[in-house]
Amino acid sequence: MKTLLIAALFTTLSLPAWADVQCSGSLKDRSISDNIFVGKQCTLINVQVDGNVMLADGAKAILRNSHIDGNLESKGRFAQLVATNNRIEGNIQLERGKLTQLHNNRVNGNIQLKNNRGTLNISRNQVDGNLECENNATPPVGGRNTVQGDKTGQCRRL
């Protein structure tokens, strides 16, 4: 019986969150009261997200003039992220991606960029936490970021 309960628990934990909004196109001028999962390609323009935005393996995302009341994070080897003029109440956590551009964003938490393989351009962001970059194949470029915490690793001069 104990084995059956443990198996049921692991099966439940490994299922995707079906309540998440799956974005595979464009969302504009909307309010979403849930997480947004980007599987392939998604453009968010002037969107209020009461949750997280998660990038899957191979995902391409453009975020403009949006408000995320959670984190912006990668769940796999994302292909592209361009985020401009957004407010993120949580953290930006991006790992193992390719092209990343973060411009003019207001981040209440940290920006963490680790083990990315492509171009990283980080400029004019306001970060209440830390700006941390580690083990990226190409050192990040950019500048004029206002960081309340520490700038560390490859991002210490941004």
Confidence of residue 2 (pLDDT cuts 50, 70, 90): low
Closest CA to 93 of 19, 81, 85: 81
Mean pLDDT for all residues in the chain: 91
Which residues are paired to 61 by β-bridges?
42, 81
Neighbours of 133 (CB within 10 A): 22
Position 77 scores a pLDDT of: 95
pTM for this entry: 0.87
Report the pLDDT averaged over residues 111-139: 98
> What residues form DSSP beta bridges with 120?
100
Residue 26, pLDDT score = 96
| CA distance linking residue 154 with residue 133, whole number of Å | 5
Per-domain residue ranges of the chain = 18-153
User: pLDDT (tens digit, 9 = 90+) per residue, 38-57?
Assistant: 999 999 999 999 999 999 99
pLDDT at residue 4 in the model: 45
Cβ-contact 98, 120 below 8 angstroms? no
What pLDDT is stored for residue 110 in this prediction?
Answer: 99
